[in-house]
Amino acid sequence: MNKFIFVSGGVCSSLGKGVAASSLGALLEGHGLNVRMVKCDPYINVDAGTMSPYQHGEVYVTDDGAETDLDLGNYARFTSGPLSRANSVTTGQIYDAVIRKEREGCYLGHTIQVIPHITDEIKRRILAVAGEDPANDVVIVEIGGTVGDIESIPFIEAARQMIHEMGRKNAISVHLTLIPEVAGAELKTKPTQHSVKAMQELGIQPDILVCRAPVMLDEATRQKIALFTNVESEAVIVSYDISTTIYQVPLVFYEQKLEEIVLKKMGVEVRHADLSAWYTMMEKFSARRGRVRIGIVGKYMELHDAYKSVYEAIFHAGLACGVETELVKVDSALLDAASDIDTVLGSGGTSRVDGVLVPGGFGDRGIGGMVKAACWARTHKIPYFGICLGMQVMVIEWARNVLLWEGADSTEFTPDTAHPVVSLLEDQIEVTMMGGTMRLGGSETRAREGTLIHKAYGGGPIHERHRHRYEFSNRYRTDMLDSGLILSAFTPDNALVESVEWPSHPWGLGVQFHPEFKSKPTAAHPLFTAFMQAIIAGSRSGKHR
Ligand code: GLN
């Protein structure tokens, strides 16, 4: 069975199309179906890897080393199908492939056009995901952007062709819109009517509408929307605002039988849905007691999406440990300029934190503030979790403040430092192209027994994803070990240091990889859980206060 669901969006961006598509995926999985997710991004970059986090939020890395849109992170958190390079399609990739084929002479004699050549390449990629595994049942294709955007038209057109060619039993359209509330007036359906018209002009009649609204819509409003849009009123689903967590969205849709309507439209027999994992997760959400405050010391603080997977992973760990988690976002550049760090992070200030997390990042802005935060956590015995750059900062801080090597740094920030304790990976030296050339993707790590990292994984295998060009400098292994820094995990060939830990400290761990990409609300990541447990243990003993 190969069925296709195209999820598009209208009215405006940021309506939560990724969460809606993922939630539908979760519901269909609850019915025992094998679901695959695909994101189509209309931008011309080949992948998200060369964009600033401020442009497009976090770069999500897959096991096979693709640098993708952050919506793949949503798919990974809500659904369980494999995600790879194939699940992220961009205009850049499509044109790149078509132009290469043209140069190879694959289309000799033809004029290359958006229809059919670009649309055929889009369709080929979507069908390839479906065909990866004969057990695949449904492919949910999320089309980025808002209907009416020039850039997304070829993707909408490819969807139109697939719906036309396969028939409505095999391919349907789910369209997400907004029902705004005008101050002093009622909820407005007109933007939704216009958005559906925009879809119809492009040749697609949506089968199902998902309406973002501040509250549940009454029956009369749903019928009005149905009347104006040719959608059955039962297929007008409301994604009303919830005060709990985005992970309740699958259950909000389930109440309104979204997946039953989808399955009925596609002629699939509706089986009993098992959503127990989502109900259990919500029970844990309500049962949380107490609150811990995690100081995130990073450089892309204004945009929540820039560290999305890290923030989600913290929330998941809170669920697993039964505590509410509050994020205290600290701009590392401001921390660098602050004369007294204790007033920002410490008990003297308003932003007292129970743990510090320094996430990944690139470039030298704000590094001084991260080093200060690491020093503060180390000397005040506050749990500290360093991810990628956050681990490199631990090494720099140790070299400067314990080994007293003035000016010790990563060559990323000070190329001519006298103490390059973090330096370019050897296989990066010859690299000149910037796109997709970092150390990327999943690989195995071996932890030494008796270390925090070994304990967190329960001694089991460690397979995590990377995205970096710089690395702990091997020539300093002896100096670091002799001064007490714990080098706790390595690549299987022992060539690269994968994690470091502070001695005589409740919990100070830095990892070169990105564990945040593998955390789920229904299965928190063991490193985030261990970090949270250390924070809770510290708070209970009053150590951090
Ligand atoms: N900028 C650092 C490097 O390239 C860290 C990268 C990261 O945090 N993802 O090695």
Output the pTM of the full model. 0.94
Query: Is residue 184 scored above 80 in pLDDT?
Result: no
Residue 69, ligand 1, Cβ within 6 A = no
Residue 412, ligand 1, Cβ within 6 A = yes
What is the residue with the minimal CA distance to atom 7 of ligand 1? 360
Query: Is residue 339 scored above 80 in pLDDT?
Result: no
pLDDT tens for residues 438-451? 889 999 999 999 99
Q: Summarize the confidence of residues 79-90 as an average pLDDT.
A: 96
pLDDT tens for residues 392-439? 999 999 999 999 999 999 999 999 999 999 999 888 888 888 888 888
Of 43-57, 196-210, 367-381, 389-403, the range with the lowest mean pLDDT is 43-57
What is the residue with the minimal CA distance to atom 6 of ligand 1? 468
The 3-state DSSP class for residue 113 equals coil
Is there a shared CATH topology between the 3-266 domain and the 282-541 domain? yes
Task: Tell which atom from ligand 1 comes closest to the C-alpha of 362.
Answer: 1
The closest of 51, 156, 40 to 59, measured between CA atoms, is 51
Query: Is residue 162 scored above 80 in pLDDT?
Result: yes
Q: Summarize the confidence of residues 267-273 as an average pLDDT.
A: 88
Phi and psi (nearest 5°) for 464? -135, 170
Run of H or E including 442: strand 439-447
Query: Is residue 334 scored above 70 in pLDDT?
Result: yes
**Virtual torsion, Cα 468, 144, 57, 462, nearest 10 deg:** -40
Q: For residue 14, what pLDDT band results from cuts at 50, 70 and 90?
A: confident
Task: Tell which atom from ligand 1 comes closest to the C-alpha of 470.
Answer: 10
Residue 468, ligand 1, Cβ within 6 A = yes
Fold of domain 282-541: Rossmann fold (3.40.50)
Task: Copy the structure tokens of residue 484.
Answer: 């007490």
Q: How many CB atoms lie within 10 A of CB 480?
A: 21
Instruction: Tell whether domain 3-266 is in CATH 3.30.530.20.
Output: no
Delimit the domains of the chain by residue range. 3-266, 282-541
The 3-state DSSP class for residue 406 equals coil
Contact 177, 195 (CB under 8 A): yes
Residue 360, ligand 1, Cβ within 6 A = yes
The closest of 506, 504, 488 to 395, measured between CA atoms, is 488
The closest of 159, 132, 156 to 35, measured between CA atoms, is 132
> Which residues are tagged catalytic?
388, 514, 516
Task: Tell which atom from ligand 1 comes closest to the C-alpha of 471.
Answer: 10
Phi and psi (nearest 5°) for 32? 85, 15
Q: Summarize the confidence of residues 309-336 as an average pLDDT.
A: 94
Give the model's pLDDT for residue 525.
Answer: 98
Q: For residue 545, what pLDDT band results from cuts at 50, 70 and 90?
A: very low
Q: What is the overall mean pLDDT for the chain?
A: 93
Residue 470, ligand 1, Cβ within 6 A = yes
